[in-house]
Amino acid sequence: MINRKQAPPYKDAIEFDLRLKPYDKYVLKNGIEVYAVNAGAEEVIQIEWVFWGGNSYETKNLVAAATNFLLKNGTASHTAFEINEHFEYYGASFSRACYNETAVLNLHSLTKHLPSLLPMVRELLTDAIFPDAELQLFRQNSLQRLSVNLKKNDFVANRLIDEKLFGFDHPYGRYSRQEDFEKITRDDVVKFYDKYYRNGKCMLFVGGKLPHNIFELLETSFGDLPLHGNETEKPEHPVVPALEKKYRIANDPNGIQGAIRIARPFPNRHHPDFLGVQVLNNVFGGFFGSRLMNNIREDKGYTYGIYSYLQNHLQTSAWIISTEAGRDVSEATVQEVYHEMKRLRESLVEDTELLLVRNYLMGTILGDLDGPFHIIGRWKNLILNGLDERHFYQSIQIIKTIQPETLQHLAEKWLRPEDFYEMIVV
């Protein structure tokens, strides 16, 4: 009989033996790779079509984003309203997003409705017409949204720090401007669609409670299209960082807060220091119990929240500290960030603090393995970055075993103020 007066034994998250459920792989007749995770108790499914057609492939700014957005806004057989009504009728969600290298279409649905939904997705990939009226509406709404956002200091800071790190001509540093929206033509969009969607490289990621004939359904709907699984030629975009590293931008004379960004270039996930720096980043500013939060929020009261993170870019990356603080204490906030860098360079992290970070990171991974959508998302991140399950298990091993001396060495190498760009937008 269970003794209710005695608490159950406590177990740290680092003692968990986490396992990444393997995927099933299928290759359609046209070469498209399909990665699928069959899991979950509910009859739901998620399918992501990932195209190599992000910002990196455009020759005119914003064409990739416009094409991705307008893909759903009309075909030769259906208007935008009818397309949305079709997905709504089946209780499905169909969204799209454009990133630096990739553009994504995402379908969430009850498993039983797939035979009725996949033909509509096929139609979007083969017969989108991009009506002029929809392009005009997209341009109008985007310009209005941009006008509103440019009044926000944090929006301006995010745009400008990326430009300083990578250069405006690099996809990671490029941002939207009014003249770019005005220059987009329907012909630009149609040409981009034809090259990178109708005839582009595509990969499929499927998660959920899959029907027994899932690969047959995908083969029927997409296996005969002129899509392919071959690598699309990637344009070369050299990184050209700004020479000046300290910026103070006046944006809102009536604002009471300054948006602060402190950032440095950092290698991508293939660099041998990346996994160790992920642990160091969480000690520094990666979660609510970090040093930056304890100092600048809890002790000084300069901000409601401050975080640091490594950007998830496929090529090169960046290490960024981000916060908003009172404009009268913005400069002091920057100095406190550098103070915490100095502490990490000069002193070892205590075992109790490191245990807290280890448990937090293991708990985060455990959450990422909760359900088929999260699992296939984890696999997608690995596959698109050219990694495999060894990277997953290596990251767990480093979280569990990295020593304070290693963290100090990484801090000495990567947390040096002279390597960071500094920006305050007020």
Confidence of residue 232 (pLDDT cuts 50, 70, 90): low
Q: What whole-number distance in Å separates Cα of residue 206 and Cα of residue 218?
A: 10
What's the mean pLDDT in 281-307?
96
What's the mean pLDDT in 139-167?
96
Contact between residue 325 and residue 303 where contact means Cβ atoms under 8 Å apart:
yes
Q: What whole-number distance in Å separates Cα of residue 19 and Cα of residue 258?
A: 43
Confidence of residue 207 (pLDDT cuts 50, 70, 90): very high
Is the pLDDT reported for residue 292 higher than 70?
Answer: yes
Q: 180 Cβ partners below 8 Å, 6+ apart?
A: 60, 61, 62
pLDDT tens-digit series, residues 310-336? 998 988 999 999 999 999 999 999 999
Is the pLDDT reported for residue 20 higher than 80?
Answer: yes
Q: Distance from CA of residue 352 to its chain's centroid? A: 31
Give me the numbers of helices (H) and strands (E) for the chain, helices first please. 15, 11
Mean pLDDT score of the chain? 94
Is the pLDDT reported for residue 229 higher than 80?
Answer: no
Q: Distance from CA of residue 280 to its chain's centroid? A: 20
pTM of the predicted protein model: 0.92
Q: Where are the alpha helices (DSSP H) in 150-204?
A: 153-166, 178-183, 186-193
Q: What is the per-residue pLDDT for 5?
A: 86
* CA count, 13 A, side-chain hemisphere, 349: 29
- Proportion of the chain above pLDDT 90, given as a percent: 90
Q: What is the per-residue pLDDT for 230?
A: 67
What's the mean pLDDT in 89-105?
96
Domains of the chain: 24-222 (3.30.830.10), 246-425 (3.30.830.10)
Q: What whole-number distance in Å separates Cα of residue 109 and Cα of residue 107?
A: 6
